[in-house]
Every structure is written in C-alpha cells, then in structure tokens.
Amino acid sequence: MSWAKYKRLSSSKDLSIFRRGTTASDGGGGGGGNDPDAQAYIDALDAAGYTVSGAEETAINNHFLDLKGTGPNNSTYDWWTGIVRLLPFIGTNSAQQAIKAESPANSTTFAGGVTHNSTGVEGNGTNGYYVFFNPSELTDGNNWSAWVYKRKDIAEDRYDFSAQSVANGSRIRIRSRATSDRLEANAGNVNQLQSPNGSVTNGAGFVGITKHQAQGFDAYARGAQYNRPIDAYVDPAIDVYGLANNVPPFSPNQYSANEHAYALVTSGISTTTEEAALRATVEAFMTALSRNVP
Amino acid sequence: MNLTELKASEYDKYVGLLTPIQKDQLVGRQYAPNSYFNPVLDGNQPPNWIISVEEMANCVNPHYEWVKALPIIPWVAPAPPEPIDSDATN
C-alpha cells in the first residue's frame, strides 16, 4: 500500500500497524512520516492513477531529503532552496510522468513521439521532446544548474536539452556525446564550450551544465568537468526542451533517441566536490528505482 | 502497411503520412494528457508532413482517432541543420 493510500484509509480507521518508513534508518524522514514535499509528490502520482510501491516511496522520500541536505546520501548541501524543476519521470503514462515533483500541482508537457517507460521518458529521435524549464524561472542567471540522467550509451549528435535563441543568439544547451566523442555546451551565452575530441566515450549517466559566477560556466559528463572561463549570461527567453533543440521561430530539431530517467534544475554547483555529492545523490535515487546505468 | 502491422521495435523506422490539412488539424492538439502532436517535415524531396508511430499508437484523444489509420511510410531523416556556432573552446 502506498503511503497516500494509507493516509486515505487511515482517515476512517486505524491502520497504524501498517505504517512504515518513519525513521531515518528505514527510509523515512524520522519522527512523523515522509517529508511533506515528497508526500505531496507521492499523493500527486497516486491521484494520477499510479500506485507508488514501497521501494519507490522510500526512494522518493530519501531523495527529497537528500536534496534538502538532510537525507541518507547527502547531509551537506541544500539543493532544494534553489530548486526550479524536478522531473523524476515516475509512472507509466504522460500524465504521471509530467508531474513537476517540486510543485506537484503543476505538470510539464511532452510533444511528438516519446515513450513512457517504467525507467523514464524515451525520445524517438524523430520528433519527441519535453519542456524542461523556461529561463524566466531562474531567479539568478549567474547561479543555476541543469542536469539530466541518461540511460542510453549512444553516440548521437543530438541535444540532451537545448534552447537556442535566434533573437539574441543565447543558448542553454548540452550534448554530452556529440561528434568526435566530445561534449558541447552553452549556459546562456552564444559561444560554445567544447571538450577535447575523444573525451566522452560513454553517452549515458549524469550530465549537466552549471553557472555559478558572472563569467563562464562548467559542464559535466559522468563526473568529468569542463570549463569555459568567459561569457556573461544572456536570457534566451524561450523554453529549454529536453531531448531536442528548441529554436523558434523554426521547428525544433536534433531530436534525441536517448532515455531520460531524471531531470533537475537547481542552484549553481560551484565545485567538483559539490557535483560529486549531487551525482552520488542522484545515482542513489536511480539505483533505488532500478534505473541506474554502468 | 498500417499501424497494426508494425511491431514496437519497428516504430523508429516508420512514420505516419499527413496531408497539409491534417497537419494543420493536429498542431497544438493533444494526443494524450500533457502530450501534444508534433508534425514535422521528413527528408524526402519534396518533403512530407509526418507524425511518429508513437503518436499514432498512443493517441487516446477521441477527436483524433483517425491518426491510427494514417498511411505508414519509411522514415527519411531530414538533413541536419547547418552549424551556426560562432566560437568554441576546450
């Protein structure tokens, strides 16, 4: 029974004997059930018709606690205060996977051919994508980061997520295994960061871009850091798409056939140590959901 | 060939062929909750408007059930866009 169902049932009779997950050691928040934001997301999944398993409930609760710096995998950093988007893509249909976990009353949208697997949302490489976030949601253009967890190790010259403004030239985007096995990224700037050819030989795992100061930004692929030391942030003022490149007024292009198991936008990650902590936190979440990749 | 003859493993090799009028009918419309049709041009000359087999197979919007009967054609990818990056650094 999911905690959401338990709560509904317990309003009419005492089912406390079935209660679980109430201490840190058994996966709960300690002292009174799940983290309230985690519970709100679980309730939203339940309302959308998805039965959250006990393992998923524990994984979700632990991950919310980890993002807040009070979980079993992270007790140092607070990535919740600056959170903009959290898409765990839990569920098996579009309504369930669209739920924005950080604000479960709201949903994102998908377009074209995407498949809603139990392990995430998969693009078809033809016309499928999802709306990741809009830069207007960032409270500080010099303090934000965007990440995805990719399940397929494929070399494709397609974007993991991307917005490309024709109006002002600014781009927010990354393709972590592009031509010649290199990473290419922008973080609200026109000029592109490229890692050396041959530097990225696995297209799966945790990748992203982080802007934590006025000039330049860092990009990461599976823990390897690449840096561009110059360029100020310019808001591209268009949606950032996951699994495609958004380039209005033209049609989106460069659709990816990868599968995203997780997507996150939060405050800037300023050191390799902090990135390693965030990556370990997400890896733990993916492992708990049986979505982790080698 | 029609949708029912396709295996899921073949979805990425085929697409559903649209007329320009059908394309206009689908733009901005949902085929499932939170999921919008995305007609695109393929790489044929002249190009065809198409939607993916996933959109056809997963359509639960009763107003657009007709997409399940669209003609199936092989997917021909359009040419990749020209690179327009102005600078690069390692």
In a domain, B4, yes or no: no
Domain extent listing, chain A: 3-67, 109-288
Query: Tens digit of pLDDT for each residue in A160-172?
Result: 999 999 999 999 9
Range of the domain at B22: 11-74
Model confidence at A22: pLDDT above 50: no
- Is A254 in CB contact (< 8 Å) with chain B? yes
Q: Determine the average pLDDT of the residues in A213-227.
A: 96
Q: pTM (2 decimals)?
A: 0.90
Asked whether the predicted pLDDT for residue A217 surpasses 90, the reply is yes
pLDDT score, position A15: 41
**Among candidates A107, A109, A253 on the partner chain, residue whose Cβ is nearest the Cβ of B36:** A109
Per-residue pLDDT at A158: 93
Pick the residue from chain B with its C-alpha nearest to A230: B89
Q: A6 pLDDT exceeds 70?
A: no
User: What is the tally of structural domains in chain B?
Assistant: 1
The whole-number pLDDT of residue A161 equals: 98
Q: Would you say residue B40 lies in a domain? A: yes
Q: Of A17-26, A71-80, A141-150, which gets the smallest average pLDDT?
A: A17-26
Instruction: List all residues 6 or more positions away from B79 whose beta carbon is below 8 Å from its beta carbon.
Output: B43
Confidence band (pLDDT; 50, 70, 90) for A179?
A: confident
B8 versus A280: the higher-pLDDT residue is A280
How far B34 CA sits from the closest chain A CA (Å)? 5
pLDDT band at A73 (very low <50, low <70, confident <90, very high): very high
Sign of the alpha-carbon dihedral angle for A40, A43, A45, A51: positive
Residue B85 in domain: no
Q: Tell me which residues of chain B have a pLDDT lower than 70.
A: 82-90
Measured between CB atoms, which of B34, B38, B86 is closest to A127? Answer: B38
Considering only A19-33, A174-188, B74-88, which range has the smallest mean pLDDT? A19-33
Q: Is it the case that residue A27 has pLDDT exceeding 80?
A: no
pLDDT of residue A50: 98
Q: Residue A26 — very low, low, confident or very high, per pLDDT cuts 50/70/90?
A: very low
pLDDT of residue A18: 43
Q: Which of B52, B87, B89 sits opposite A113 (nearest CB)?
A: B52
Contact A194 B89 (CB under 8 A): yes
What share of chain A in percent tops pLDDT 90? 85
- Taking 50 as the threshold, does the pLDDT of residue A11 lie above it? no
Q: Is residue A5 pLDDT above 70, yes or no?
A: no
Please report whether residue B35 resides in a domain: yes
Q: Could you tell me the CA-to-CA distances from A29 to A23, A69, A193 in Å, in that order?
A: 6, 12, 40
Fold entry, domain A109-288? Jelly Rolls (2.60.120)
Residue A288 — pLDDT band, cuts 50, 70, 90?
Answer: very high
Contact B32 A93 (CB under 8 A): yes
- Quote the minimal CA–CA distance from B75 to chain A in Å: 8
At B2 the pLDDT is 84
Give the 3-state secondary structure of chain A: CCHHHHHHHHCCCCCHHHCCCCCHHHCCCCCCCCCHHHHHHHHHHHHCCCCCCHHHHHHHHHHHHHHCCCCCCCCCCCCCCCCCEEECCCCCCHHHHCECCCCCCCECCEECCEEEECCEEEECCCCCEEEEECHHHCCCCCCEEEEEEECCCCCCCCCCEEEECCCCCCEEEEEEEEHHHEEEEEEEECCEEECCCCCCCCCCEEEEEEECCCCCEEEEECCEEEEECCCCCCCCCCCEEECCEECCCCCCECCCCCEEEEEEEECCCCCHHHHHHHHHHHHHHHHHCCCCCC
What pLDDT is recorded for position A1?
52
Is the model more confident about A27 or about A288? A288
Rounded Cα–Cα distance for residues A189 and A235 (Å): 8
B34 domain residue, yes or no:
yes
pLDDT, residue A14, reads 39
Of A109, A127, A257, the CB nearest to B40: A127
- From chain B, the residues in CB contact with A125 under 8 A are 12
Query: Does the predicted interface ipTM exceed a cut of 0.85?
Result: yes
Whole-number Å distance between alpha carbons of A133 and A84: 8
Average pLDDT over residues A224-244: 96
Model pLDDT, residue B80:
75
